[in-house]
Amino acid sequence: MTYDDNNVFAKILRGELPCHKVYETDRVLAFMDVMPRGDGHVLVIPKSKARNLLDVDPEVLAELMKAVQVVGKAAKSALSADGLTIQQFNESAGGQVVFHIHFHVLPRFDGVPLKPHTGQMEKPELLMEFAEKIRTALSAA
C-alpha cells in the first residue's frame, strides 16, 4: 500500500486542518485526539510520510518513540493518571483507520474503562484544557 497525501494527519501537518498541539519538534507532532477514548488522549505522529510501522524509517520510529515517552510522562503527570495505555495499529485488519503512522497515548484511571470509538467529536474547550495541562507539565519537566 502507498502513502495517501490526503489523509487527515497529512492535512494537519500542512496546516490545512487545525489541531490542539501538545508537543512539537522538527520531526514529530503531538496533539489531542478530537474523538478521544479517554481524558487526555493524545496522538503522536512523525512529520515525515509513513503509512505505518511496516514502512516507517527506523530512525523516524526512534524519534517517534522518544516523543511518545515524553508525552506519556507529561500526560500521566498532568492528569494525575494511575497509568498509561499506548496503542498503535497497522493496516485495516489491524485496526488502523488513518494511514499515517501514529501512536495513541491514553492516560488511564483505576476503574475507568476506555470509551468506545464512536466517532463523536469532543468539545474543543475540553480539548484545549487538557492540551494546556499537558503543555504545562512538559514545560515543568
Region 15-29 average pLDDT? 98
User: Using 50, 70 and 90 to split pLDDT, how confident is the model at 117?
Assistant: confident
pLDDT above 90 coverage of the chain, percent: 95
Topology at the third CATH level for domain 8-140: HIT family, subunit A (3.30.428)
Domain chopping of the chain, boundaries: 8-140
* Low-confidence winner among 40-44, 51-55, 96-100, 119-123 (lowest mean pLDDT): 119-123
pTM of the model: 0.97
- Sign of the dihedral through C-alpha 130, 31, 92, 35: positive
Q: What is the pLDDT of residues 61-76, one digit of tens each?
A: 999 999 999 999 999 9
Secondary-structure percent of the chain, ordered helix, strand, coil, rounded to 5: 35, 20, 50
By annotation, the residues acting in catalysis are 102
